[in-house]
């Protein structure tokens, strides 16, 4: 091949930098190099069909051979596909008009622009391969915990870099509300989505997903790793509270005790990772009445009425247990409904109490029914169950206007004055 072998070797070595950087195997690299040469040649001459590119990785060079049809001198219309008879005889002294002759192309003779185009094309193709490789790797890692270093923080998301230099995105919506990170901090999260649409690779991770909580339990509780205990269901209000239903396949193992650990040793590390999220671990059961009762823990119910067809449950509790069932900001009852997948209505068992009280429905002539229904859905079905709750907590839990809450409180207070 008539070319400067030193310059060719240098060029191939330059391209090999991509191979080292992206860890691409030898056969793939040869294929990419050949495709890149063909792409640039096609742009220069309009076609690469008559070109044969041979990559010699062991020698560190490449050869480009071109086939052209021999035509009479002065009848050459396309110098890429045709060659005059006199010039052709220099290449092959025995050739005749109408036959094909093959000669080598010195790619470097095309100038600096061609080399730059080749390098740019090669870089683009290798980047595509790299993205596809990372995509294939991470799509199989959905649901797994990964670590990333905070590289950049934006308003709506945070950019993390994993140990291999891959970019991970942690959206604001997937961050625990009390999360606070600085550049350089290490973040633990679970992979929830991987997308490579239009060769635009995006790997999304989450710290609010129930799967993240499950993976943390699997890391901390050996019995879960060994398959002796299984996590049946998880309900979370990230950063606030979570309920985890567990079941043991061995009667000798207490699933709740195993998950909590001696003096809470196992669950404490999970709570710290989740910014002091309060975690309730309960025994799972297929008995829906018992499961709902456990889900409303620490409240103790008096009775429960199940409507399996409509997946609804009416639960009666002693007046002093209602606030426990509802929980701060309504979190406890909300999580219980998420965990059991039942709509739960909480009622105060006035008959079993010496306390004087009145059902909210009795105030329907003074308070609009839709407002009463909102209170009842949260378990506040009597006047005193509402009056015993802090005004600000009522506003937060019901999402009603302050004026509406104040009006309701005034009506209810007047009844007992």
Does the pLDDT value for residue 7 go beyond 60?
no
Tokens in use for 187? 């973040």
Q: How far is CA 177 from CA 25, 136, 193, 208, 313, in A?
A: 43, 31, 21, 9, 31
Q: What is the mean pLDDT of the chain?
A: 86
pLDDT for the residue numbered 3: 41
With a threshold of 0.85, does the pTM exceed it? Answer: no
Each residue of 335-368: pLDDT tens digit?
Answer: 999 999 999 998 877 655 556 778 888 888 889 9
Q: Which CATH number fits domain 141-207: 1.10.10.10, 3.40.50.970, 3.30.70.1900, 2.40.50.140?
A: 2.40.50.140
At residue 17, the pLDDT reads 55
Q: Which residues contact 298 (CB under 8 A, 6 or more apart)?
A: 324
| pLDDT recorded at residue 359 | 83
Task: Please give the Cα distance from 84 to 20 (Å, whole number).
Answer: 44
H or E stretch covering 115 = helix 112-139
pLDDT: is 190 or 54 the higher one?
190
Is there a common fold for 209-284 and 300-417? yes
Are the C-beta atoms of 244 and 281 separated by less than 8 Å?
A: yes
Considering only CA atoms, which of 353, 336, 351, 407 is closest in space to residue 375? 407
pLDDT of 23: 58
Report pLDDT for 16: 55
Q: Is the pLDDT of residue 115 over 80?
A: no
Highest mean pLDDT among 44-53, 77-86, 404-413: 404-413
* Per-residue pLDDT, 148: 96
According to the model, what pLDDT value does residue 197 have? 87
Nearest to 350 by CA among 326, 396, 317, 304: 317
207 contact partners, CB below 8 Å, separation of at least 6: 170, 174, 175, 176, 179, 187, 188, 189, 190, 238, 274
Kindly state which CATH superfamily the domain 209-284 is placed in. K homology (KH) domain (3.30.300.20)
DSSP label at 175? S
Phi, psi at 216, each rounded to 5°: -65, -40
> Which of 69-73, 74-78, 194-198, 205-209 has the largest mean confidence?
205-209
User: b/e map of 352-372 (b: 16 or more CB within 10 Å)?
Assistant: eeeeebebbeebeeebeeebb
Instruction: Give the Cα separation of 31 and 28 in Å (integer).
Output: 5
d(CA 188, CA 206): 9
Average pLDDT over residues 46-75: 81
Determine the average pLDDT of the residues in 13-20.
53
- Residue 383 scores a pLDDT above 60: yes
What Å distances lie between residue 340 and 117, 292, 294, 345, CA to CA? 61, 6, 10, 13
Q: What is the mean pLDDT of residues 404-415?
A: 90
pLDDT of 270 over the 70 cut:
yes
pLDDT value of position 353: 53
Q: Are 412 and 404 in contact (CB under 8 A)?
A: no
For the segment 121-163, what is each residue's pLDDT rounded down to a tens digit? 777 877 888 888 889 899 999 999 999 999 999 999 999 999 9
Report how far apart, in Å, the C-alpha atoms of 376 and of each of 49, 175, 356 are: 77, 32, 18
Domain boundaries, given as residue ranges, for the chain: 5-136, 141-207, 209-284, 300-417
Q: Please tell me the CATH code under which domain 5-136 is placed.
A: 3.30.1480
Q: For 206-232, how does the pLDDT look when each residue is reduced to its tens digit (9 = 90+)?
A: 999 999 999 999 999 999 999 999 999
pLDDT at 5 over 50: no
3-class state of residue 132 by DSSP: helix
Per CATH, the number for 300-417 is: 3.30.300.20
Residue 18: its pLDDT value, please?
Answer: 54
């Amino acid at each position: 091949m008539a070319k400067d072998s030193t310059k060719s070797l240098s060029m191939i070595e330059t391209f090999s930098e991509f191979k080292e950087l992206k860890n691409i195997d030898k056969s793939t690299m040869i294929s990419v190099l050949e495709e890149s040469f063909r792409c640039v040649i096609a742009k220069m001459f309009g076609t690469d069909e008559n070109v044969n590119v041979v990559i010699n990785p062991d020698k560190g060079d490449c050869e480009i051979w071109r086939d052209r049809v021999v035509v009479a001198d002065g009848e050459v219309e396309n110098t890429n596909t045709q060659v005059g008879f006199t010039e052709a005889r220099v290449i092959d002294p025995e050739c005749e008009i109408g036959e094909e002759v093959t000669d080598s192309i010195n790619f470097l003779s095309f100038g600096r622009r061609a080399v730059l185009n080749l390098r740019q094309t090669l870089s683009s193709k290798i980047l595509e391969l790299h993205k596809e490789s990372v995509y294939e790797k991470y799509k199989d890692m959905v649901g797994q915990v990964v670590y990333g270093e905070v590289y950049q923080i934006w308003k709506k998301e945070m950019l993390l870099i994993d140990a291999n230099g891959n970019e991970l995105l942690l959206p604001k919506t997937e961050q625990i509300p009390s999360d606070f990170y600085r550049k350089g901090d290490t973040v633990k999260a679970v992979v929830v989505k991987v997308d490579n649409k239009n060769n635009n690779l995006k790997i999304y991770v989450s710290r609010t997903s129930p799967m993240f909580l499950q993976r943390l339990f699997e890391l901390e509780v050996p019995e879960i790793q060994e398959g002796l205990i299984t996590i049946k269901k998880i309900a979370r209000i990230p950063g606030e509270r979570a309920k985890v239903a567990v079941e043991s396949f061995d009667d000798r193992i207490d699933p709740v005790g195993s998950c909590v650990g001696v003096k809470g040793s196992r669950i404490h590390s999970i709570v710290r990772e989740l910014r002091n999220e309060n975690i309730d671990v309960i025994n799972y059961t297929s008995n829906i009445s018992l499961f709902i009762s456990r889900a409303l823990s620490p409240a103790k119910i008096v009775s429960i009425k199940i409507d399996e067809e409509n997946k609804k449950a009416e639960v009666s509790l002693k007046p002093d247990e209602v606030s426990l069932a509802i929980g701060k900001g309504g979190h406890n009852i909300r999580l219980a409904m998420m965990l059991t997948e039942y709509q739960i209505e909480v009622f105060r068992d006035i008959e079993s109490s010496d306390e004087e009280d009145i059902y909210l429905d009795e105030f329907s002539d003074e308070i609009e029914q839709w407002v009463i229904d909102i209170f009842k859905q949260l378990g506040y079905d009597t006047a005193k169950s509402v009056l015993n709750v802090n005004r600000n907590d009522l506003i937060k839990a019901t999402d009603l206007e302050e004026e509406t809450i104040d009006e309701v409180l005034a009506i209810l207070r007047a009844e007992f004055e």
